[in-house]
Structure 1
Amino acid sequence: MNKILYITFFLILCNPLLAQEGKKDRADKDYDKFAYIRASELYERLLKNGYESKDLYGKLADTYYFNARYTEALPYYSKMLDYDGETEPGYYYRYAQCLKADKKYEEADKVLDKFYTLVGYPKKDNASLLHAVETLKNGSPRYVLTDAGINTGYADFGTGFYGKDQVIFASARDTGIFVKRTHKWNQMPFLKLYTATIDSAGKLVSPEKLGGEVNSRYHQTTAVVTKDGKTMYFTRNNYRKGKFRKSEDGTNHLKIYRATYADGKWGNIEDLSINNDAYSTAHPALSPDDRNLYFVSDRPGTLGDTDIFITEILDDGSLGPVQNLGADINTPGKETFPFIDENGRIYFASNGHAGLGGLDIFAAVRDPFDQYRTVNLGSPVNSVRDDFAFIVRGDGKGFLSSNREEETGFDNIYAISEKEPLQLKAALCGLVRDSITKEPLSDAKVTLYNRDNHALNEVLTDASGNFCMSVWPFTNYNLRAGKEEYQSTEHWVDELENGEKREVVMELVRDGVQVTTGDDLTEKMGLKPIYFDFDGSGIRKISEIELGKVIEVMKQYPRLVIEVRSHTDSRGSDAYNKALSERRARATVNYIVNKGGISPDRISGKGFGETELINSCADGVSCTEEQHQQNRRSEFILMQM
C-alpha cells in the first residue's frame, strides 16, 4: 500500500470516530450550560451509535437526574459505576437517590455509606423517624393531601401565604400569544408569579397573574410577603433594568429581589446585598416577626449542593451578615425551599437526610438541649419523587408542591390538612435510692449523656429521690447518678418512642468499701473488666466509662497511687505476649494521664504476658473466644493511699 492510499484509508477509519467526538463536545457544551433536554438527546444518539464511556454515561444520567427523571437516570448511573477509574463522590449520592425513587432502599443505603465515607461526612440516619412521625397512634396518616384545584398542564409550585386568604405561587401556564419563550433547561415556558384565593375548603381558586413590576420576561418564583403586606421578597433570574447578567463562566444565576407595594401595585424592585453574579441566591422565607430572612444558596461555604442561610433585616432595611444554618440542617446534598411557621419551626426540602426518594420535606425541631433535629414528615406528604415548598398555618392548613404524578412529571400544588400537631417529645424520669435500705436519696446528681458520652443535662433528685427530664425520642442515652458518700452508677437507656415517659430506678452503693495496699480496684469498685481485642492494645470505647471511674477516684483521693497490670491470653509466644501486655499497660496509663490529667508519678504500668491466666485456657487447651477474652485485661492495683 502506497503512502497516499495509507493516509486515505486512515482518514476513512478515523472520520466516524472524530464525528462522534464532535457530537460529544457539543453535548458537553450544552451540559455545561444546563440545557439538559438538548444534551440528553445528543448523548442518547451517541450511545445508539456505539460510543460508550464512563463520562458519557455519567453525564447522560445527570441530564435525567436534574430534571427529576430518576428512574430514567438509574440505569445510566449503574453503567457508569461499572467502569473502572476514579469517580467523583457526587455520582454515588445521585445514584442512591435514584435507587430510593425505585424503592431499592437497602441498596441505596449501601451506596450512601460509600458516599459519606468518600466525603468524610458522618451519615445522618433518620430512618427510624420515618415511621415515627408519618402516622398517628391509631395508624391513620397525620396529614390529608388533596389537589389544590389550580394545577395546569405546566409547572405550578412554590406557594407563599399572601395575607389572610391568598397565596402567591409560580406557574409556567402563561405561554404567551404572539411570542412563545421557553427555557433551555426543560423546554417549559418561563415562570411567572400568580395569586390565588384560599376558599373555605382550603382549596385554591381564582388564579391571577401578579400585577406590577415583579414579573419580568424571564423566571420568577417563590415569593414571601411581610405581614403588613407592604414588602415582598421573591426569586428571579439575574435580570434587572433590561440587563440579563451572567457569571464569568456564562451562567445566569438566581437572585432574591425586594419589591414594595404602593398605589395598588408592586414596584420599586431592589437588588439585595446578599446576591452575587457568581452564585445563586433563591427561595426566601421570613421569620414570624419578619426580622430574619432565610434563603437558599450555593455560595462559597456551602456544605453541599445548596444550603439554607439566614440574615437579619435591620431597621433601615439593610441586611446583616449571612450565616449558614449549619450541619444539623444542611448536608452534602441539597437543602432548599425553607418555611418558618408561627412557632419558629423550620420546614424545608432535602435529599441529603434519610428519605423516601428525591426531595423530601422535613421539619427542623429544637430538642430539649437546644439542638436542631431533622424529622421526615413521612407519607403522604413525601413520596418517591420530589416534594417541597411546604407551608402551613397554625390551624394545620397549608400547601406543598410535588412532581409525584408520573403521568405528567410536572410540579403541582397540593392542599394539606394536619389532623394533629406535630409534637416530638419524651421524658426520662426515675428514682434514686440506697441499694441496701431502699430509702430514697435526695440531692443525688443525675447526669444525662448521649451515645458519644457528652453531657446533655444535669438535675438533682427531690426530697423523695425522684427526678425527671425532657429528652429527644428515637435515640439512646446513658444516665449517671452520684451522691456524696456513695459510688456513682450508670444506666443505659434504649431509645424512647415519641411521647413516651420512661421510668428507671437507680440504686447507689454506699462508698464504704475497705481497700488496702495490693487490692485490685477493678474488683473492689465493681468495675466492668477493661478488655482488649485479640492482638490489640487500643482502648475500647466501652472501656472509657470504666476508666473514667478510675480517673474520678484518683482525683477524689490525690494520695492514691496505682499500678496498671495488663495481661494477654495464651496464644502467641511468651516473649511476644510479654511485649503485647506492656503495650496494653502503657495504653491504659496514657489514657488516664492524658484524658484525666492525672500526674504520671501517681500511676505506672507493667505487663505480665500470659503468666497470670484467670482460667484454664493455657497453651494447648481448646477455649472459646469469650474464655480467651477474660485473660486479655488490665487490672488496677492499689500501691499507696
Structure 2
Amino acid sequence: MRKYIRITILFIIAAQMAFAQEARKERADKNYGKFAYIKASELYERLVEKGYESQDLFARLADACYFNARYSEALLRYEKMLSYDTKVRPVYYYRYAQCLKAEGEYEKAEQALTEFYTLIGQPGRPEVSLTGQLADIEHFSGRYAIADAGINTEYADFGSAYRGKDKLIFASARDTGIFVQRTHVWNKQPFLKLYEADINEDGKLENPVKLKGEVNRKFHQSTPIVTHDGKTMYFTRNNFLRGKYGKSENGTNHLKIYKATNNEGKWEDIEELPINDDEFSTAHPALDPDEKMLYFVSDRNGTRGKSDLFAAEIRPDGSFGPVLNLGDKINTRGRETFPFVSDSGILYFASDGHPGLGGLDVFAVHKDAFGNDRVINLGKPVNSPADDFGYVIDEAGKKGFFSSNRGEKTAFDNIYAFTENRPVSLVAELCGHVRDSITKEPLAGTQLTLYDENKKELKNFRTDASGNFCTEVVPYENYVLRSEKEEYQVHEEFVARLDHKEKRELLIELNREDIKVTTGDDLTTKLGLKPIYFDFDKHSIREISKIELGKVIEVMQQYPGIAIDVRSHTDSRGSDQYNMQLSENRARATMDYIINVGGIAPGRISGKGYGESQLVNDCSDGVKCSEEAHQLNRRSEFIILKM
C-alpha cells in the first residue's frame, strides 16, 4: 500500500460558497511555508479501524506490509482485497503468492501463481508447459545450415574431434560389420575404431583413414580429443590395456579414458588415466582452451542421473586433481554426455534431461547479462526428435560437426557438417525513467534492484542525474524491478518477458513516504485517492464515494487547523443555469456529509459550484462524447485554504 497519498477526490458535486480570489491568495501567501505531513498507511489503517472497507484500501495496506517484508500481515490484507468480485491487476496475485510461500502455504501459492501467469498471457508457468518449452527452443532455432559431412557409411560414424584446423578424428564401425544398437553410455556397439579425415574448403570431410599405432585395439575406441600441438590424444576405450580385459565385481566391462602420444604419425604409449575405475564408466573426454582441465562423462557414485558431466584439473606435472561434478545447473536426472569446450570457453554437451525436441539434444552453457551460467538448447536444425550429440565447432570459421541418428532406419549415427550463421544471443535492454508522481521531477540516484520471477536478486544499479536508467537483461525471462529512494515509498514493477534485442521502456512514478501539504494545495493531487463521480443529474453521495470522503474527513480530523474549499463541477449536458444549480447542490451535499458524518465544524469547509464552466476535456455543448468522457467532468476538487 502506498504511504504517499495524492487526493483525487474528484466528486462531481457542485456547490461551493463564494469566496474572494484575492483573499484566498492573501491567506495562501501568509501561510506559505507552513506544512503538514500525512502518513498514508496510518491514514488507511485508521479508516479500516473505523469500519471503512474497500478493495483499494486493502490493496494499499497490503502493499505497505509487503514492501516492508511483513508478509503475514500483507497476506491477510491481500486475502481481503481478493475477496471482492472486482478484478484486480495481475501483479497482486504474484505478491499474494509470495506471501503464501513465506507462510509455507505452497499449494495455495501455486494456485495464485497459476492465476497470475494466466492473466499475463503465460499459462503453464512457473512449471513451463511443453508448449512453452518448445517456444523457448524456437527462439534459438534457425541459426545453422547443415549438410551430410561426406564420409558417412551404412555403419555408425560419430564422435568427432579436431586435429589442427584441417583434420577431424572420428569413431566408426565401418570395417567390422558387427553392430549392436547404441545405449546411453555408448558401450554396446563393438569394434569401433578411430579414423582421421581431411576437412576440405567447403567444410566437409574426405579421405578417411584409420589411425595408426596402438590406439585401435579389438574392442571399442571412440570420442577423442587432441591437444593444440597435436602430440597428445585422450580417447575412450573399453576397459582393455596391454591384453588385459578388465571387469567390475559384477562382471561388467566399463569404459575408461586413455592417453596416447603421437610418435611420427603413430599413436602409441597408451596410458590409463587415474580418474578411471573398474566399477564405473568414465568416457568422452574434452579439454578447456588452456588444456588445464579435463571434462568427461561418468556414472560413478554421486551421479545425479544416468550419466553426469565431471571435470578434473590437469596439473603441471601431469597428475590429476579431484574429480568434480559440474552440478545441478548442468546435470539432470537424465543423461548428460559428449562434452566439448570451444576456444572461447563455451561448454557444449548433449542431454535428454533438459527440455528438448526428443532423444539427446545439444546444449551450450552461456554467460548471461548477470554473469550466470545458462543452459541453452541450440534449436533446430542441429537438434531434432532423434539423438543429436558430439558437437564441435571452429569458432573462427563458424564451422563444425555434430553426430545424429536422424532419418536412419538402422538407428546408427552419421556425422553432419554445419555453418553457424548467427551466434546465440542473450541480450535485451530494460530502460526507463523514474520521477516524482506529483511534481514529475526526475529522481536521480534511485536505487533499482532487479529480481527474477522467484525473487532471486540479479542486479543492482541507480538512475542517472536525469532519473534515467538502462540495463542489459536476458530475453524470454520475467523480472521484478524494485525502486527505492529515501523519503519515497518502495515501488515494484513486474516486467514480462522481453524479446531478443528488445528495448523495453518503463515510466516509474514514486510516491512520497510522507505527503507534504500546505495552503493552496489541491488534495485531489496530493493524496492519490481514487476519483469519485456523481451519477448523471444526481447530487446524492454514492455508497463507494463515502469511503473516499472518509479519507478527507480523517485528514481534517487529524489536522484541526486545515480548512478546505470544495469546488464542484458538472458535464455539459443540460442548460448552463441548470448545471450551475446542480453543481451547487453537489457541493452542498459534499459539505453536509463531511460536517454531519465527520463531525467537522462548518467554519472549516466552504464550497462553490462551477457548473460546466471548467470542463477537463472537449465535451462541450454539441460535442458527441462517451459516458466515460462526460463523467470526467462530473467531479469535485478540495483546495486547502489554511493550515
TM-score normalised by length of structure 2: 0.58
- Is the 8 Å Cα contact of residues 334 and 353 (structure 2) preserved in structure 1? yes
Where in structure 2 are the equivalents of 1:88-237 lying within 5 Å? 126-134=133-141, 141-175=142-176, 189-237=190-238
- What aligned pairs does 1:310-349 form with structure 2 within 5 A after superposition? 310-349=311-350
* Cα distance change, pair 365–124 in 1 and its aligned pair in 2 (3 A): farther
Residues 379 and 438 (structure 1 numbering): CA distance in 2 closer, same or farther, change over 3 Å?
same
What is the rounded CA distance, in whole Å, between the counterparts of 1:131 and 1:409 in structure 2?
Answer: 26
Counterpart contact for 1:254–1:279, Cα < 8 Å: yes
Q: Is the 8 A contact 2:369 2:426 kept in 1?
A: no
Q: 2:418 aligns with which of 410, 416, 438?
A: 416
Contact 1:222 1:235 in 2 (8 A): yes
The percent of aligned pairs where both chains have the same amino acid is 56
Matches of 2:322 and 2:280 in 1, distance apart?
17
Q: Which residue of 1 aligns with 2:434?
A: 432
Cα RMSD, aligned residues only: 2.8
Deviation, structure 1 residue 336: 0.6
1:126 positional shift: 4.0
Distance between the aligned counterparts of 1:184 and 1:150, measured in 2? 20
CA gap of 1:132–1:183, structure 2 versus 1, over 3 A, is: closer
- Equivalent residue for 2:443? 441
In structure 2, how many angstroms separate the alpha carbons of the residues matched to 1:124 and 1:331? 21
**Deviation of 1:406 (Å):** 3.2
Question: Can you list the C-alpha shifts for 1:478-510, whole angstroms capped at 9, x where unaligned?
Answer: 000111111110110001112222121111112
Task: Read off the aligned partner of 2:472 and give its amino acid letter.
Answer: S
2:480 partner SS: strand
CA contact (8 A) 1:126 1:353 kept: no
The answer to whether the 8 Å contact 1:127/1:355 transfers is: yes
TM-score by length of 1: 0.58
Asked whether the equivalents of residues 156 and 169 of structure 1 are also in contact (C-alpha less than 8 Å), the reply is: yes
Q: Taking structure 1 as reference, are residues 290 and 526 closer, same or farther at Cα in structure 2, changes over 3 Å only?
A: farther
Determine if contact 1:223/1:235 at 8 Å carries over to the other structure. yes
Q: How many equivalent pairs are there?
A: 394
Task: Return the letter of the residue paired with 2:377.
Answer: N
Instruction: Give 1:150-549 correspondences, 5 Å limit.
Output: 150-175=151-176, 189-394=190-395, 395-513=397-515
Report the AA paired with residue 244 of structure 1.
Answer: Y
Contact 2:449 2:459 survives alignment (8 Å): yes
CA separation in 2, counterparts of 1:228 and 1:492? 52
- C-alpha contact 2:352 2:360 (8 A) present in aligned 1: yes
Q: Measure, in 1, the Cα distance between the counterparts of 2:236 and 2:159.
A: 11
Corresponding letter in the other structure for 1:415: A
Q: Deviations over 1:279-325 (max 9, x none)?
A: 11111111111111111111111111111111111111111111111
Unaligned segments of structure 2, at least 5 residues: 1-123, 518-525, 530-643
Q: How far apart in 2 are the matches of 1:130 and 1:239?
A: 41
Whether the 8 Å contact between 1:183 and 1:190 is mirrored in structure 2 is no
Residue deviations 1:113-146, cap 9 Å, x none?
9xxx9xxx99997433211010xxxxxx211110
Q: Deviation of residue 153 (structure 1)?
A: 1.0
C-alpha offsets along residues 50-105 of structure 1, whole Å, 9 cap, x if unaligned? xxxxxxxxxxxxxxxxxxxxxxxxxxxxxxxxxxxxxxxxxxxxxxxxxxxxxxxx
Preserved CA contact (<8 Å) 1:448 1:457: yes
Deviations 1:218-241 (A, max 9, x none): 000000001111111100001011
User: Gapped runs of 5+ residues in structure 1?
Assistant: 1-111, 135-140, 516-523, 528-641
Change (3 A) 1:253 1:125: farther
Return the alpha-carbon distance in structure 1 between the equivalents of residues 472 and 312 of structure 2: 31
Once residues 525 and 254 of structure 1 are traced to their aligned partners in structure 2, the CA distance between those partners, rounded to angstroms, is 73
Deviations 1:352-404 (A, max 9, x none): 11111111111111222232211111111111110100111112100010000
Q: Is the 8 A contact 1:174 1:189 kept in 2?
A: no
**Equivalent residue number for residue 634 of structure 2:** none
Q: Which amino acid aligns with 1:249?
A: N
Which amino acid in the other structure matches residue 347 of structure 1?
A: Y
Q: Which entry has the higher C-alpha Rg, 1 or 2?
A: 2
